[in-house]
Structure 1
Amino acid sequence: MKQKWMTALRVISCGWLAFLCSFIDRLSWPPIIPMAAGELGLTAAEAGGFMSAFFLGYLLTQLPGGMLADRWGSRKVLLYSLFLMGIFTIGLALTTGFLQGITLRFLAGFGSGAVLAAAVKGVYDHVSAEHRAMAMGLFMTSAPLGLLLANILSPLIASQYGWRSSFLLAGSITLAAFALAWMILPRRSELRIVSAAGKKGLKFELKDMLTNRDLMLTAAAGFFAMWGTWGTLTWANAYMHHGLGLSLQQSGQTMALFGLGALIGQPVVGWLSDRFRQRRRQTGMIILAFFAVLLWLFGRNQDVQYLVVLAPLLGAGAFVFGPVLNTFISELVAARHVATAIGFCNGIWQVGSLISPVTAGMVLDRTGSYLGAFSILAVGPLLAVGLLACVRTNGVVRSR
């Protein structure tokens, strides 16, 4: 029993670390947009395009990464992901223009795309249904912690050593995580599940996904939820810097509060979701409605003092739906397809991440209104609430 617990701890910890690095790598860009965009001569839409390029690469590896995780387990998928993320994040420090930079961001996203499905598989395979949402919430604290670290380290390093040094640091952290995961991840795990998953080909697995009505509605809801999250993460720093007059470092510190709200909120909401396992869908709807209201309030706010309250609440709203919806998805499919379903749904979710930064940037280029940009972002979670209301089931809670 102790050995089984230690194996679970190693798998989940490495998934947590890989997802942390994924967030540090992707979120080192927004805090230094004003500095880097000026040097590289980028418009607001082009600067937002750097985030969209990351998510395009991230999107393309969602489903293949999930399928590989179902067949091979977490180790190979996480190691390949960490190596690619680290190399191409470091490469951004050497970029000289828009085309080269956007290509490197695409490749870093391509390396990052399989991390979530592989890590969620580790949680699902090693944690019982009674504690799964809380475990998912603890695992997903890596996302806001990555946000917090990126918003502290990136502007701090950029102000002292230049914005390129931020990417040298982020990529080096990721390669260090690769070395650690290589040493401690178990080499043989989940063999029974790999064998079961291998009996079906891509055509049949896709058919299973596409004909699952509730899964498709949940995937669409996640698209609109992520629309709000990643549009906010791309433009919140610039809003506070240009719209409210904060320095880059002060904006980063405020976004650290945003991350802190999500960091605390995810395991708490996961724990509550486990207490009411038959109401995960309704929990997600309440969270997303709360998120939409906070987005509008954030864009409307002109008082710096209110950011101390708004930032952590908005951070919680932007992230805590993740553990609830990911656990809900895992309960809508057969056990052998969990990673594939997570990859499939997250792939659809990331289309929202791909489109929203550029869309908000275009609104800013045309109107100069941050309220308009954040109002557009708030529409996403409202639509997500409507889609979840159409889901017919509250999930099938199964044992491992």
Structure 2
Amino acid sequence: MTRSSPAPAARSAAAPPGGRGRWQPHHTLWLMLLGGWLFSYADRSITGPVVTWLIENDHGMLGSAAHPHALGGLIGSLFFAGYMLTQFPGGYLGDRFGHRSMIVISLLWAGVTTLASGFVGGLLAFVVLRVLTGLGEGVFYSNDRTLIARYSPPEKAGLGMGVAITGLALGLTVATLGAPYLIDRGAGAFGTAGAWRMPFLVLGAATLVFGLAMTGYLRRLGGPLKAGAPALRLLGISVVLCAAVLAVYLIADGLGMPAWGVAVAECVLAFVLIGAVFARRGTRMGAVARNRNVLLLCCAFIAVMWNLWFFSFWSVSIVADAATSSFAKAALVATFNAGAGILGFPAGGLLSDLAKRRGWGRRPMVVAFVLVQGLLVVVFGGYLHAVGKPSLVLMSVLLFVTSLVFNALQPMVHALLNDVVDPAERGSAFGLFNLVSEIGAVVSPALGGALFDAYRTWVPAIYLDGALMLASAALYALVREPGPKSLPAAGS
């Protein structure tokens, strides 16, 4: 089956010349995809606060472990091992079967597996479902970015990507701020030992409802969805990949490897998949592997995903440990890290589009924002190192400002990637981009937890995070940005 052309209604998704200032169909698409990001990120982000609660309450699932932070971080890393491994297959399937279908499959899949996570009773079963959730959610990103580029005016692609990915910040905020409330309600429904189940049950059900709403919307946007064939393909791929992730986990754990070592071993799976892509460089599937700019952006974005999931997974624990505050107060402060994206994402996309129109290019702005963000992370770590008991107010300000810059730079990079690839290969390019960059997300939760267990402070892990961001600026500077005339046409 080949990719079908958009329906006539979808062809007009780009705003007409006279439609400036009016609500356009692509605005609705941006908001619906924002909702997809919100539920997708809430589903994955809730694991971090729940793990922190399990550790603080000495729950049998984690509290009795010799190195609970390392084990908790490993759970997050295993999720991203699954999430990482379906990035490129998801983009390729979207290019072949339709990006709308893959969006629907991803959301419904995530809803089912998140809901099921609230019913399991053992650590291994919980890990399996988190890996499966990651495998399903992994196909959302590349298809979301491609839909925005396809149905938006080219001069607004960066803004559209920024608006949609604002759902990431909203999802992080919902998960971080909602965790104490949902766990309290869970204690009333399931008892103290089962209180952790409630966040997964509530968010899983909500994701399913939104997934059904998204199905109806995307049918109206571009006609019938043909999700059966790609769903079966994805299921077959996911069974194999889930077995591979768990095999590496069980073998490495049996050999006594530390949690960060297990995470690194999981990354080897990604390198095997990347190697398969490069081995097919002569095929359409491997064409993006010949693009020097794509490879530079892939490697540079590892630091971004490292930062994103180090702070997203451990921000509550960082605040609670540094200020010796309660779980609820720490969650409230940590939302300043998540909530900054509500402003940062659309602002970054808007600034990126402005720089492109003015002839400055997106690359210089990306490099500047990466350097500033890396320095802010180092300043945050230095503050925690210098002060015995840091101020919750000052931590909130530092987290907000650092995250504001960090979130703004992400749609800048996404729009730059969109500019350097052929429109027919966008799905595959974004899939390869996130496959490589998710290495940072796989390693950072586990290694961050292991560093805390070793030093009893989060400062070394924060310094490492900042150093990686600063180093990545050199890779962004090497990207060769195309001129304004090489922007693809909307709807292509």
Q: TM-score with structure 2 length normalisation?
A: 0.75
1:338 aligns with 2:426: yes
1:177 offset after TM fit, Å? 0.9
In the alignment of these two chains, the number of paired residues is: 391
Letter in 2 for 1:109: G
Q: Distance in 2 between matches of 1:24 and 1:188?
A: 26
Q: Which residue of 1 aligns with 2:229?
A: none
Q: Could you say what secondary structure the match of 1:141 adopts?
A: helix
| Structure 2 residue identity aligned to 1:26 | R
| Aligned equivalent of 1:287, options 369, 374, 390 | 369
Deviation at 1:298, TM superposition (A): 2.4
Could you tell me which amino acid in structure 2 is paired with residue 246 of structure 1?
Answer: S
Q: How far apart are the structure 2 equivalents of 1:188 and 1:304?
A: 46
Q: Pick closer, same or farther for the CA change 1:373–1:358 going to 2, 3 Å.
A: same
TM-superposed CA distance for 1:64, in Å, is 1.0
**Structure 2 equivalent of residue 61 of structure 1:** 86
RMSD: 2.2
Residue 177 of structure 1 aligns with an amino acid whose one-letter code is F
Query: If the length of structure 1 is used for normalisation, what is the TM-score?
Result: 0.92
- 1:136 and 1:270 in contact (8 A); partners too: yes
Q: What are the residue-to-residue correspondences of 1:1-400 with 2, within 5 Å?
A: 4-5=12-13, 7-37=25-55, 38-39=58-59, 40-41=61-62, 42=65, 43-161=68-186, 162-186=195-219, 189=222, 204-277=283-356, 278-299=360-381, 300-301=383-384, 302-394=390-482, 396-400=486-490
3-state secondary structure, aligned to 1:204: coil
Question: Residues of 2 paired with 1:178 and 1:215: CA distance?
Answer: 31
Unpaired runs of 5+ in structure 1? 192-200
Q: Is the 8 A contact 2:334 2:396 kept in 1?
A: no
- The CA distance in 2 between the partners of 1:206 and 1:185, in whole Å, is 26
Counterparts of 1:250 and 1:22 in 2: how far apart (Å)? 25
Please state how far the C-alpha of 1:308 moved relative to its aligned partner: 2.8
CA distance in 1, matches of 2:341, 2:482: 24
- The answer to whether the Cα contact below 8 Å between 1:16 and 1:119 also exists between their aligned partners in 2 is no
Structure-2 separation of matches of 1:393 and 1:119 = 23
Deviation per CA, 1:149-197, whole angstroms, max 9, x where unpaired? 1112122111332221011111111111111112221267399xxxxxx
User: In structure 1, what is the Cα distance between the partners aligned to 2:376 and 2:121?
Assistant: 38
C-alpha distance in 1, partners of 2:176/2:290? 41
Q: Distance in 1 between matches of 2:165 and 2:86?
A: 19
Residue 223 of structure 1 contacts residue 351 of structure 1 at CA under 8 Å; is this kept in 2?
A: yes
**Structure 1 Cα separation of the partners of residues 102 and 163 of structure 2:** 21
Cα distance in 2 between the residues matched to 1:372 and 1:330: 35
Q: Is the 8 A contact 1:7 1:186 kept in 2?
A: no
Alpha-carbon offset, residue 2 of structure 1: 8.5
Structure 2 CA distance for partners of 1:392 and 1:121, relative to 1, 3 Å? closer
The C-alpha deviation readout for 1:373-398, integer Å capped at 9, x for no partner, is 11111122112101112223356433
Please say if residues 14 and 185 of structure 1, whose CA atoms lie closer than 8 Å, have aligned partners that are also in contact.
Answer: no
Cα distance change of structure 1 residues 376 and 95 upon mapping to structure 2, 3 Å threshold:
farther
- Residues of 2 paired with 1:349 and 1:312: CA distance? 24
* 1:88/1:105 contact within 8 Å kept: yes
Find the aligned partners of 1:85 and 1:11 in 2 and give their Cα distance: 20
Query: How far does the alpha carbon of each residue in 1:65-99 deviate from its partner, in whole angstroms, 9 at most, with x for none?
Result: 11122223232101111111111111221233332
SS of the residue corresponding to residue 286 of structure 2 reads helix
Structure 2: distance between partners of 1:381 and 1:255: 20
In structure 2, C-alpha distance between the alignment counterparts of 1:164 and 1:202, rounded to whole Å: 45
Distance, in Å, in 2 between the alignment partners of 1:184 and 1:387 is 39
1:186 aligned counterpart, secondary structure? helix
**Structure 1 stretch 59-68 or stretch 242-251: which is displaced more?**
242-251
The amino acid that maps onto 2:366 is G
Aligned partners of 2:353, 2:408: CA distance in 1, in Å? 14
Q: Which amino acid aligns with 1:380?
A: L
CA shift, 1:314, in A, is 2.2
The answer to whether the 8 A contact 2:366-2:413 is kept is yes
Contact 2:421 2:429 in 1 (8 A): yes
- For 1:311 and 1:327, how far apart are their aligned partners in 2? 25
Distance 2:282 2:84 in 1: 19
Larger deviation: 281-290 or 37-46?
A: 37-46
2:185/2:198 contact within 8 Å kept: no
Q: Which runs of 5+ in 2 are unaligned?
A: 1-7, 14-23, 187-194, 225-279, 385-389
Q: Which letter does structure 1 place at the counterpart of 2:48?
A: P
Is the CA contact 2:305–2:441 (under 8 Å) kept in the aligned structure 1?
Answer: yes
Task: Flag the 1:35–1:260 CA change in 2: closer, same or farther, 3 A.
Answer: closer
Q: Would you say the 8 A contact 1:244–1:304 is kept in 2? A: yes
* Displacement of 1:357: 0.9
Q: After alignment, is 171-180 or 256-265 more displaced?
A: 256-265
CA distance in 2, matches of 1:272, 1:187: 31
Query: 1:75 touches 1:187 (CA, 8 Å); kept in 2?
Result: no
Tell me which moved more, 52-61 or 91-100. 91-100
Match of 1:196 in 2: none
Matched letter for residue 351 of structure 1:
I
CA offset digits 1:296-347 (Å, max 9, x no partner) = 2223332222023112112223322221111111111111111111111011
